Amino acid sequence: MFIVHRGKAVGDEYSIHACSTKLVAKANVDTLARSWRYTWLRVVFYRGLVNDVEDFATLISFTVFEEDKE
């Protein structure tokens, strides 16, 4: 399963926990908080590349769960 959500990058934030630099983004946080699936790793895809990930998931018989979809 690929777990995805969408947002607009607005900056970055330094943290001593886990990876040192975190992406700061505007997103549908209310829905995201209700649907959050705990996993440690998040990968950033810029622009429309998430559509390619969805196509790839279909090819390898994975499902795509959109955390921020209402």
Digitized pLDDT (tens) for each residue of the chain, 70 residues in all: 888 888 888 998 887 776 777 888 888 888 878 877 777 677 777 777 888 988 999 999 999 888 877 7
Secondary structure element (H or E) that encloses residue 55, with its range: helix 49-59
Q: How far apart (Å, rounded) are the C-alpha atoms in residues 41 and 29? A: 18
Q: How far apart (Å, rounded) are the C-alpha atoms in residues 33 and 14? A: 22
Tokens of 25: 């983004």
Buried b (16+ CB within 10 A) or exposed e, 11-29: eeeeeeeeeeeeeeeeebe
All structural domains of the chain with their residue ranges: 2-66
Verdict on whether the full-model pTM lies above 0.85: no
